[in-house]
Amino acid sequence: MKRIDIHVHLHMDDPLMDRHVEQAGEKGVTALLVHAVPNDICPPLGDNEHVLAAMRKHPGVVFGSMQIDLRRGAALCVETVRHWAGEGFKCVKMYPNLGFDPADPRHDPVWAEIEARGLLCLPHCGYIQISPIYPTMSLTSLTASPFHFERAARMFPGIHFIMAHFGGAATYLETLVLCQRLANFHADCTPGQGTWVWKCRLPGIEDMPFDHFLWGTDAGPEAIDGSAAFWDGTFDDLGVAAEDRQRFYYDNAAALLAVG
């Protein structure tokens, strides 16, 4: 089965993602949405300029997702979005755990720019692990939940939001509420929280609309087989139809990334 991995990162030991692209391709993964991270606080992972280099090396396979930090203010973030969108990035990644509230109206110019550029937004949700070299860094899960993106999703319906990690372990019900109601609200299944919710068969998951649910690994290509085995087994157990699996593994992501 063809698959698109909606959530991976660039590891600096594979700087142009040659190894990742080759091994993923051998396993039927035809496209990767690669999310930049702030390289100053997560040194082993690539920032916007690293992702751009991999995009240029692997056009049509590596799709870029720029990271922005809303603490820097709307004017600077609008410039950042404009710049990287101009380089061909398809998505915006953000980490509200750093200490901003995505629902704050001060960020509206940034959402307007993201919408005008036709970009997706895949925010980190739930608990976050950042480099162990900063053990006391100011981080919180409070602002990293799906309800914090509801306002922007309602006011800027042209932006498709994808909640990473199924919206977080404790807040997955917010994901279910919004994915059932908003056409532009989606979630990925990535570990640990996104996988954990399904592994535990937590209440309500049977009502997740599969046209809003996307496969991803948040890992290197060595994780692909194990991830596919976990989800195939979970879907067998839950009686998920073949068409819904096809949406989950490929069709939903292909539509959002506009790939054939």
Question: Which residues contact Zn ion by CB under 5 A?
Answer: 218
Separation between Cα atoms, residue 197 and residue 183, nearest integer Å: 22
CB of 218 to Zn ion, least distance (A): 4
CB of 119 to Zn ion, least distance (A): 18
CA distance readout (Å), 228 to 5, 125, 250: 11, 22, 12
DSSP readout, 56-90? HHSTTTEEEEEE--GGG-HHHHHHHHHHHHHTT--
Q: How far apart are CB 109 and Zn ion at their closest, in Å? A: 26
Q: How many helices (H) and strands (E) does the chain have?
A: 10, 8
Q: Considering the complex, state which of residue 13 and residue 207 has its C-beta at the smaller distance from Zn ion.
A: 13
Between 15 and 192, whose beta carbon lies closer to Zn ion?
A: 192
Is the CB of 55 or the CB of 219 nearer to Zn ion? 219
Cβ closest to Zn ion, residue 84 vs residue 156:
84
Quote the least distance from Cβ 216 to Zn ion, whole Å: 8
CB-based contacts of 3: which residues, under 8 Å, 6+ apart? 27, 28, 29, 30, 215, 224, 228, 249, 250
- Nearest distance in Å: CB 62, Zn ion: 15
Closest CA to 89 of 124, 48, 123: 48
In the complex, residue closest to Zn ion by CB: 218
- Give the residue with the Cβ less far from Zn ion, 16 or 130: 130
Spatial separation of the C-alpha atoms in residues 161 and 149, rounded to whole Å: 8
Query: Which helix (H) or strand (E) covers residue 6, if one does?
Result: strand 3-8
Find where tokens 């940034």 sit: 110
